[in-house]
Chains A and B, each alone.
Chain A
Amino acid sequence: MLNLVDRRMGIFLAGLFLLTVAIPVGNLAMAGQPVPSYIVALLGKYLCYALLAVALDLVWGYCGILSLGHGAFFALGGYAMGMHLMREIGARGVYANPVLPDFMVFLNWDSLPWYWLGFDMFGFALAMALLVPGLLAFVFGWFAFRSRVTGVYLSIITQAMTYALMLAFFRNEMGFGGYNGLTDFKDVLGFSLQADSTRAGLFVLSALALAAGLLVSKAITSSKLGKVLIAIRDAESRTRFIGYRVEEYKLFVFVVSAMMAGLAGALYVPQVGIINPGEFSPANSIGIVIWVALGGRGTLVGAAMGAIIVGIAQTLFTSWFPELWLFALGGLFVFVTIFLPDGVLGLIESRLGRKAGPGAAAKEASA
């Protein structure tokens, strides 16, 4: 376990640990509440984004699969959790129907569709939040990797996948609340979602999930399997000729990554209180890519940092100069790709004179 924690991972996890202790204490236990509740929710959201970024970095940074559809896995995990939270509302909805969520009553449905069964159990919903994205990734990857769809083409069909899912979830007939999605959640496992203590608890869970995600990814990438993944990223054909079954390695890492994204979505939904088809939009998925690129591709820790930096920048910009946010974000895309191929982490480490991370190698052979 300890050999997984190299210097940068150690610094990041220590910072994360401090945050995980300081934020809830500041919010709940200190007089005068130096950390307001909305900050807790906001930071919890960033931590979910960070986990999502780590998931993408695992496939993009280490295996060269640029998925433009990771938002879909995130949203599917979110929907699984949202469905549980909808069932938890029970008879407290507007129409006071003990079984059917409000939107189904509104659409004159008289019974729960089969795919909603079981979501009243938290464990089942959590399992689905992992399994559904994992299954989608498995099926999608099974076809795509076996057919050797690579590079740009793969990126474009992952984008088509999330776009198709977005269109599908917009449909009322799908039974996922259509345009409005799922919202008005009341509580999770009996804890009210409005309560500060629940929010703080979710924040801590998000931090733990992020730490776990980082460690799992690190374990994968520093194992022998991880070496093969990097080989695939840098020279796919050569790896295949040596005798490795490239598509199986890719499929494995793609599924793991999708499940991590699903977990991030499941933690995200109770903290923001809504999930709607907009989460599937291709623009969101491309947004994830820039987090990873900004932080430093192929560094895991950098991806998490990138997500948090962009998240904070977005919050500040949209409240100070809403007009300028898209200029700033767009400029960031251009600036990072041209001037910061190793991301912020690469910049910091090269300034500190340390050896550059795998991102440097990624730059050489990403084409």
Chain B
Amino acid sequence: MALLRVLLAAAITCAASLAAAQSLEDLVATLPEGSYDDRGAVVAQIAGTGDDRALKVLESLLEGDLEVLDSNGRVVEIRSEGRDDFATDILTGEDYGEVPSRGSSRIRVNNSLRRDIRAAMGTMTLRHPDPARRLAAAQAAFRSPDPDQAELLSEALAAETDPQVAEALSRAVAVAALEGAAPEAAQLEAVAVLSEMGNTEARTILAAAAADAEGPVAEAASDAVRHIDQMQRLWGLAQNVWFGLSLGSVLLLAAIGLAITFGVMGVINMAHGELVMIGAYTTFVVQEAIRSSFPALFDWSLLIAAPLAFAVAGGVGVAIERGVVRFLYGRPLETLLATWGISLMLQQAVRSIFGPNNREVGNPSFMSGAFELGQMTVTWNRLWILVFALAVFAVLLFVLKKTPIGLQMRAVTQNRAMASNMGIRTGWVDAMTFGLGAGIAGLAGVALSQIDNVSPNLGQSYIVDSFMVVVFGGAGNIWGTLAGAFSLGIANKFLEPWTGAVLAKILVLVFIILFIQKRPRGLFAVRGRAVDA
């Protein structure tokens, strides 16, 4: 017994060393020789080498592109261009140039050999040391299911350690089981696995299974299809809500500065969009400076740009207030015209300095790409913009409610004369309030530069929307602006699948026009005497 064991061990070692001794080069060289059965054994050995090039050899053999050159006996891959054939060495990649017809002979394969090759290739990739390659192989097996591979996949699944790959493998096993004549229990389990998966691919497979199979399997499959449909409706809903939140955050950013200048101060600032544009261009300038001088800091560019954009746009805002708006308090329609004039000048100034075309603003690495959440895709830049919008909102709320300057701002807007009597410098507070609104518009510009074209027309595209949000939410109430932005954003995105983007926007505008008729002071009207002033 012991002897037997020793012998067996020796034999295994011997076989292993033999296999190791036979390099891929030798094995490939022996491919043309012998019968189809011999070739099958060599294929298995080639797969056993674990060499990266082995896969290519097998693929080429399967396609029938593998030939032997008569001149030097090398095994080459033939590729045809028109009527000429060109040969490259399958292992070294060396180019042998054009091959005369009859200058090479094909290594033939038959059906049973093809099956062997496929199995060998499957094993090779499914057992590849790199998990990414295994995952790709499992996913490929899922997409082109082959009942013959079911056993192979099950074995690979049993040996798999990586949970992500194991999941993909179990799905591949399930599809293979459904396609082939697996026992009913296995098929039911497969339906359960696919139902869990819950995406469109799984639904297609299950719907086909529900049509083809009989008895409990068909029933389970159609149940699973219904389940998936329901799940997909829910995910579709979630996706719409997410798009709506994302649009809402953009609207909020664009409108929140206006909620201060228009909502709190009552100044119709038509140049608001241009302040957003100035913020976006500040981001552009900061990124240019970073690109040329400190490329390593690029990921921090937005963080650097944000305070600068606040300062630049805020500064322009203070200049507008001191230079123009303060002469027009109490004449809102005139303010509208004057600030419109300022917006035209700012647009032309930016066009003269930076040119009329779109300027490139890059995404820092933490804002590029996307991740999957269940069945919806969430892009990082949209998520960060949502976070940023809420953060700006929170800070603004804090400034207005908890700081001395916020207190003074509210005092001046409520009763200017009284505030002045209490020793508040109302002119200075006006300038600061307008500057705050303008600075926040600049911050919005930093965020919008990430998702929109930075061009002199950037502001124009937001001005109508932002007024709608503020008016809808109710001027003078920043909570109203928050509610207004998100409800309009979500409404817009829920309409879009039915009506298309443009019609959805038109419908929202019409809705706002009608809404204003019903509640002329917006969603959350500020009540009291101040409104009638």
Whether B331 and A333, one on each chain, are in contact in the complex, defined by CB atoms closer than 8 angstroms, is no
Identify which of B330, B345, B351, B512 gathers the most chain A CB atoms within 10 Å of its CB: B345
Q: How many residues on chain B are close to A (CB under 8 Å)?
A: 46
Question: A156 vs B330: C-alpha distance in the bound complex, in angstroms?
Answer: 17
Whether A333 and B512, one on each chain, are in contact in the complex, defined by CB atoms closer than 8 angstroms, is no
Complex contacts, A333 vs chain B, CB 8 Å: 337-338, 340-342, 344
Question: A156 vs B475: C-alpha distance in the bound complex, in angstroms?
Answer: 12
Whether A156 and B467, one on each chain, are in contact in the complex, defined by CB atoms closer than 8 angstroms, is yes
B518 at the interface (CB under 8 A from A): yes
Complex contacts, A366 vs chain B, CB 8 Å: 331, 333-334
Q: Which chain B residue lies CB-closest to A332? A: B341
Question: A161 vs B511: C-alpha distance in the bound complex, in angstroms?
Answer: 11
Question: A215 vs B100: C-alpha distance in the bound complex, in angstroms?
Answer: 96
Known: A156-B467, A334-B338. A329 touches B344 (CB 8 A): yes
Secondary structure class of chain B's binding surface, majority of residues: helix
Shortest CB-to-CB span from A178 to chain B, Å, is 11
Per-residue CB contact flags for chain A residues 151-169 toward chain B (1 = under 8 Å, else 0) read 1110111011101100110
A103 at the interface (CB under 8 A from B): no
Q: Which chain B residue lies CB-closest to A144? A: B517
Whether A159 and B467, one on each chain, are in contact in the complex, defined by CB atoms closer than 8 angstroms, is yes
Whether B467 and A329, one on each chain, are in contact in the complex, defined by CB atoms closer than 8 angstroms, is no
Whether B345 and A330, one on each chain, are in contact in the complex, defined by CB atoms closer than 8 angstroms, is yes
Shortest CB-to-CB span from B491 to chain A, Å, is 15
Whether A168 and B344, one on each chain, are in contact in the complex, defined by CB atoms closer than 8 angstroms, is no
- Give residues of chain A (318-367) contacting chain B, Cβ–Cβ below 8 Å: 323-327, 329-334, 336-338, 341, 366-367
B336 at the interface (CB under 8 A from A): yes
Whether B333 and A151, one on each chain, are in contact in the complex, defined by CB atoms closer than 8 angstroms, is yes
Question: A116 vs B485: C-alpha distance in the bound complex, in angstroms?
Answer: 38
Name which of B70-78, B203-211, B385-393, B501-509 contacts chain A. B501-509
Contact of A151 among B332, B468, B510 (CB under 8 A): B332
Per-residue CB contact flags for chain A residues 129-155 toward chain B (1 = under 8 Å, else 0) read 000000000001001101111111101
B327 at the interface (CB under 8 A from A): yes
Shortest CB-to-CB span from A102 to chain B, Å, is 23
Whether A330 and B509, one on each chain, are in contact in the complex, defined by CB atoms closer than 8 angstroms, is no
Question: A283 vs B344: C-alpha distance in the bound complex, in angstroms?
Answer: 10
Whether B348 and A330, one on each chain, are in contact in the complex, defined by CB atoms closer than 8 angstroms, is yes
- Give residues of chain B (298-356) contacting chain A, Cβ–Cβ below 8 Å: 324, 327-328, 330-338, 340-349, 351-352
Whether A168 and B333, one on each chain, are in contact in the complex, defined by CB atoms closer than 8 angstroms, is no
Whether B517 and A334, one on each chain, are in contact in the complex, defined by CB atoms closer than 8 angstroms, is no
Q: Which chain A residue lies CB-closest to B505? A: A167
Question: A161 vs B347: C-alpha distance in the bound complex, in angstroms?
Answer: 24
Complex contacts, A289 vs chain B, CB 8 Å: 337
Question: A28 vs B414: C-alpha distance in the bound complex, in angstroms?
Answer: 65
Whether A337 and B328, one on each chain, are in contact in the complex, defined by CB atoms closer than 8 angstroms, is yes
Whether A147 and B268, one on each chain, are in contact in the complex, defined by CB atoms closer than 8 angstroms, is no
Whether B348 and A170, one on each chain, are in contact in the complex, defined by CB atoms closer than 8 angstroms, is no
Interface size grouping (class) on chain A = 35 or more
A286 at the interface (CB under 8 A from B): yes
Contact of A327 among B337, B345, B502, B512 (CB under 8 A): B345
Contact of A149 among B337, B344, B351, B517 (CB under 8 A): B517
Shortest CB-to-CB span from B415 to chain A, Å, is 17
Question: A344 vs B345: C-alpha distance in the bound complex, in angstroms?
Answer: 22
Complex contacts, B332 vs chain A, CB 8 Å: 151-152, 367
Contact of B509 among A144, A152, A160 (CB under 8 A): A160
Q: Which chain B residue lies CB-closest to A323? A: B352
Q: Which chain A residue lies CB-closest to B323? A: A334
Question: A45 vs B491: C-alpha distance in the bound complex, in angstroms?
Answer: 42
Contact of A155 among B336, B338, B343, B505 (CB under 8 A): B336
- Give residues of chain B (342-379) contacting chain A, Cβ–Cβ below 8 Å: 342-349, 351-352
Complex contacts, A146 vs chain B, CB 8 Å: 517
Shortest CB-to-CB span from A306 to chain B, Å, is 12
Q: Which chain B residue lies CB-closest to A145? A: B517
Question: A152 vs B332: C-alpha distance in the bound complex, in angstroms?
Answer: 7
Whether A338 and B502, one on each chain, are in contact in the complex, defined by CB atoms closer than 8 angstroms, is no
Q: Which chain A residue lies CB-closest to B266? A: A152
Question: A157 vs B460: C-alpha distance in the bound complex, in angstroms?
Answer: 17
Name 19 interchain pairs, CB-CB below 8 A, sorted by A. Answer: A147-B518, A148-B520, A156-B471, A157-B512, A163-B509, A164-B505, A164-B513, A168-B503, A282-B463, A283-B460, A286-B337, A325-B348, A326-B351, A327-B349, A332-B341, A333-B338, A333-B340, A334-B341, A334-B342
Given contacts A160-B464, A330-B343, A336-B337, could you give 16 more A-B pairs where the C-beta distance is less than 8 Å?
A149-B516, A149-B517, A151-B332, A153-B520, A160-B509, A164-B506, A289-B337, A290-B341, A323-B352, A326-B351, A327-B344, A330-B344, A331-B345, A334-B338, A337-B341, A367-B332
6 nearest A-B pairs in the assembled complex, by CB-CB distance: A333-B341, A330-B344, A330-B345, A326-B348, A164-B509, A147-B517
